[in-house]
Amino acid sequence: MSSIITLLLYGSIKKRLLAFIITLITLTCTAQNPSVSGSVFDTSKNPVPFADVVLKQQVQDSTFVKTSFTDEHGHFEILNVNAGEYLLTISTIGYENYTTKITINKNLVLPDIVLQNRAKELDDVVINQKRPIVRRKIDRIEFDVENSIISSDNAWQIVKKTPGVNVVGDGISIRGSSGILVTINDKKVYLTGTELKNLLENTNGDDIKSIEVITTPPAKYEAQGSAVLNIKMKKNVGGGYKGSVSGAYVQSMYPKGVVATNHYFKNKKLTVFGGYMFGSGHYYGESRGEVRYTNPEDNTIASVWKSNEKSHYRATQQNSYNISAEYAIDTLNTVAVGFNGFSSLKSTALIDTPTAIYDGNGRLDSLFTSHNHRDYPQKNSTVTGSYEHIFNKDHKVIFASDYTRHYFNQEQDITAGISLPGEAPHTQQDIGSNDTRRISLFSAQADYNGKDGETSFEAGMRYGNVSAKNIFDYESTINGVPASSPGLSNNFLYDENILAGYIGAEREFGKWGFKAGLRGEHTRLEGNSVTIREVNRQDYFKLFPSAYALYKASDNHQIGLSYGKRIIRPQYSALNPFRSYNTPYSYSTGDPRLQPAITHNFSLQYTLKSKYNFDLFYRYEKDPSSEVIYQDYTTNTIITKYTNISRNIASGLEFNTNVQFFEWWEAGTMSTIGYQENTFQGADESMQVISQWTLYTSANSRFTLNKKKDILAEFDFFYMSPAVQGAFKLSDISSLSLSFKKVFLNENAEAGILLSDIYRGERQTITTQYGNQYSRYNNYGDSQSFRIFFRYRFGNQKLGEGKTRESTDEQKRL
């Protein structure tokens, strides 16, 4: 703990901030009122864990006063209650609600409370289903899907339905920002893109309790990322074994397939989970481009390059695997270990880019063709471990560590030729490169959670290290003669160390709730381009405060405020200075001198009737890193470079709700009206500003088509208006998907079909236009598809019927 204090006392300003928080925490710990406590059991006299306990005033609108939940032994306690008459309500899935009137004028211990079972029978199968619930919490939105109709989906489909989350292709964004942190039970997921999608598609939805969208993350989370998407898994309170097998066939432009199996075992002390997924597929993409070069004298068009790129990616052996084990030494001590990984060792790409070059009068001048072949095997693996000690019901500490090893190797051969119309190529250029990357990630952290009266505390420390080595070999020939390429081969070393500490506190005062935290991170990094003898060092310490307030006027009205400061560090690949050629006239490169972006998030929230959520937000990013495309007039080359742009501004109003129109029809909808403004330095070093008013809207409807509720259908639609991103202007896109699913074999099996992007609305045009720069690309990522899927579950599927607000054995999957 002394290291935390040392970190947070760094500098006089930091001292004052810390002293203020400590004073606030001290003041909130005084003046205790009476308490009410009790224990909750079922009709078999077994304790009912994690039931919701709500204390309301006996007035017309039954205003919330306090909320709590039962622990693993069915016990609850609500502290600091003003004397008076109240309604006490206890509820949980599978039981009738319990409500009683109580009078509190001193500490009150209630007699044992017994909940009655609630269920309806259908072909000897117990069904307890509800619509998904959106809850406003002081620092997040919680999308509770436990035992809902969508819990039969996989995790990826549930994430796509989550309010506040935008999913296009393999990408996940929140409020237009893709710089988000994805966690499972608050543990960081070291996967992105297709790998993350594969993991979530093979995670059973009925193992998920809720999805949390945290637009202003509290101090306990890493400061990296503009928002957090946390997937909370259920706590399996029963013992036994359960498993599942699943498979899917996908037909887009070319076929793909995946099979997977998951297994779970639990007894009194030991919990073991294991899963494996195998996938194989042929992926397609196309991009039609137009680049215009102008005459400097009069800005008239000098030449136009029109390309029609077609890409074929094949990954015939994709393997994902994970295994975790958790052992309860006793009721107070638990250890856990885990291992997971992904490999795709047979991954290849073939990219053909025919290009027609026209003069200023629109006449065909010459032709340029490029064939790019790549082999890019890759794999990564992660080992995790943790230890949890519970001092008592109010205090616990968790120690955790993980180590990740990433391997990537890309061999590339490019053959390109230039010819006059109707003639054989008069110039041929061959480019060969070998890109070898090895990245190691290590982290260790300690987290403390405590409670003193009505005030909750949290504090912790974290150390993280990134060590990367990248060797890039480049060679080129023109008409068989080796071409000079100084500085294009290189050896790049990168080392990053982050030491962090945080404190936080949360307290309720009647209808008001407050939460505040402070995180400090000291970052030291070095990027070394060995061959060209260029070293970049950065050493900085930054504080990241967060603050929240929530006012519960009544059951029907809640108002919240929040502020948080975050940091977005560049991706490791964006720091790499090597040139990755797509054609001899097109390459991308990074910048080892990239600076981290600082983000400030402000939000005003309002919730109506616990159903309709409104969020007025403002986000300011200083020095964000972004891809910028510019034309090099001396070589007629298109360069895509990662660079720091001056700032991004985003503001808007977001609305979301989940409603049930009829017993057979549920729907969720989300809309965001916003404004974006980006400022960047152009290729001519002039400052450029692009802005755009935006609209994003999505709708999901779920239908039950028969009385047995075993034939289901879904309708999904989204529309995204034109937007800006860095120096790019993005056209509008939309998508329509339909699915049908049949449940059978006593709800243990399901099969269905999914039609995605039915009219190819996800095709998008990306434009760069300022000064003498003009490029436009119309991209399509093979999103239109037809999917057939099947899943069969066996064993004791009721293992997942418990509820939890704590980390579970599923946590160690990552």
Confidence check: pLDDT of 161 > 60: yes
Give residues with Cβ within 8 angstroms of 226, minimum separation 6: 174, 175, 177, 179, 180, 566, 568, 599, 601, 619, 621
Residue 391 is predicted with a pLDDT of 94
- Residue 388, Cα to own-chain centre: how many angstroms? 26
HSE-CB of 776 using CA atoms within 13 angstroms? 10
Three-class secondary structure of residue 201 per DSSP? helix
811 has a pLDDT exceeding 60: no
pLDDT of residue 183: 85
Instruction: Give the C-alpha distances (Å, rounded to integers) separating 251 from 284, 351, 722, 789.
Output: 11, 21, 29, 12
Query: What does the pLDDT read at residue 721?
Result: 96
Q: Helix, strand, coil % (nearest 5) of the chain?
A: 5, 65, 25
Local confidence band at 149 (pLDDT 50, 70, 90 cut-offs)? low
Give the DSSP letter string of 22-87. HHHHHHTT------EEEEEE-TTS-B-TT-EEEEEESSTT--EEEEEE--TTSEEEE-S--SEEEE
Which residue, 814, 805, 812, is CA-closest to 235? 805
Average pLDDT over residues 738-765: 93
User: Where are the alpha helices (H) located in 419-536, listed in sequence order?
Assistant: none
Residue 806 has pLDDT above 70, yes or no: no
Check residues 805 and 243 and name the one with the higher pLDDT.
243
> 25 pLDDT exceeds 80?
no
pLDDT of 290 over the 80 cut: yes
Distance CA 227, CA 219 (A): 12
Q: Is there a contact between 414 and 372 (Cβ–Cβ < 8 Å)? A: yes
Confidence class for position 65, pLDDT limits 50, 70, 90: low
Q: Report the pLDDT value the prediction gives residue 58, as an integer from 0 to 100.
A: 65
pLDDT at 534 over 80: yes
pLDDT of 8 > 80? The answer is no
Which of the residue ranges 168-172, 236-240, 754-758, 767-771 would you say has the lowest mean pLDDT? Answer: 236-240
The pLDDT mean for the chain works out to 85
Q: What is the mean pLDDT of residues 283-298?
A: 94
Q: What pLDDT score does 69 carry?
A: 78
- Please list the residues that pair with 255 across neighbouring strands: 251
Does residue 59 carry a pLDDT above 80? no
User: For 419-466, what is each residue's pLDDT tens digit?
Assistant: 999 888 899 999 999 999 999 999 999 999 999 888 999 999 999 999
Tell me how far apart the alpha carbons of residues 617 and 604 are, in angstroms, rounded to a whole number.
Answer: 6
Phi, psi of 573 (to 5 degrees): -65, -30
Would the pLDDT of 24 be above 90? no
Q: How confident is the model at residue 483 (pLDDT cuts 50, 70, 90)?
A: confident
- Cα–Cα distance between 670 and 656 in angstroms, integer? 4
Distance (Å, whole) CA 757 – CA 737: 6
The pLDDT score that the predictor gives to residue 27 is 38
Q: For 411-423, what is each residue's pLDDT tens digit?
A: 999 999 999 998 8
Q: HSE on the CB side for 57, CA within 13 Å?
A: 16
- Output b/e per residue, 260-283; b: 16+ Cβ within 10 A: bbbbbbbeeeebbbbbebebbbeb
> With 90 as the cut, is the pLDDT of residue 2 above it?
no
Q: pLDDT digits over 554-578, tens only?
A: 878 999 999 999 998 888 778 888 8
Handedness of CA 160, 322, 232, 451 (dihedral sign): negative
- Give the whole-angstrom CA distance, residue 286 versus residue 782: 8
What pTM, to 2 d.p., does this model score?
Answer: 0.78
Give the pLDDT confidence score for residue 677 in this predicted structure: 93
Given this model, what pLDDT does residue 814 score?
30
Q: How far apart are CA 335 and CA 398, in angstroms?
A: 10
Mean pLDDT, to the nearest integer, of 71-75? Answer: 79
Residue 132 banded pLDDT, cuts 50, 70, 90: low
Question: What gap in Å lies between CA 46 and CA 103, rounded to an integer?
Answer: 27
Of 91-100, 542-551, 645-654, 771-780, least confident by mean pLDDT is 91-100
Pairwise CA distance, residues 70 & 74, whole Å: 5
- The 3-state secondary structure of 503-558 reads EEEEEEECCEEEEEEEEEEEEEEEEEECCCCEEEEEEEEEEEEEEEEEEEEECCEE
End-to-end CA distance of the chain, in Å?
27
Q: What pLDDT is stored for residue 555 in this prediction?
A: 78
> Element (H or E) spanning 685, and its range?
none
Per-residue model confidence (pLDDT) at position 611: 84
Q: What is the percentage of the chain residues whose pLDDT exceeds 90? A: 53
The pLDDT assigned to 675 comes to 96
Check residue 409 and give its pLDDT: 94
Average confidence (pLDDT) over 677-688: 86
What is the structure's pLDDT at 206? 75
Would you state the structure tokens that stand for residue 572, as one six-digit string? 């490791």
- What does the pLDDT average to over 267-275? 91
Identify the H or E element spanning 485: none
**Residues 172, 155 contacting (CB under 8 angstroms):** no
pLDDT(766) > 70: yes
545: pLDDT strictly greater than 80: yes
Instruction: State the Cα angle at 190 between 188 and 195, rounded to 5°.
Output: 130
- Which segments within 420-489 are labelled E, that is strand? 427-452, 455-478, 481-482
CB 773 within 8 A of CB 631: yes
User: Could you give the C-alpha distances from 425 to 351, 607, 641, in angstroms and in order?
Assistant: 19, 66, 30
Contact call for residues 283 and 782 (beta carbons, < 8 A): yes
**pLDDT tens digits along 173-210:** 887 676 788 888 887 777 677 777 777 877 777 778 88
Q: Is the pLDDT of residue 163 over 50?
A: yes
Position 753 scores a pLDDT of 95
pLDDT of 411: 95
pLDDT at position 384, please?
94
Bridge-based pairing of strands 557-568 and 597-608 is antiparallel
Q: How many CB atoms lie within 10 A of CB 599?
A: 24
* DSSP H/E element including 104: strand 98-104
Angle, vertex CA 354, rays to CA 348 and CA 357, nearest 5: 150
Q: Give the confidence band of 649 by pLDDT, cuts at 50, 70, 90.
A: very high
DSSP 8-state secondary structure symbol assigned to residue 360: T
Rounded to 5 degrees, φ, ψ at 24 are -60, -45
- The pLDDT of residue 236 is 62
pLDDT given at position 168: 74
Question: Is the per-residue pLDDT at 152 higher than 80?
Answer: no
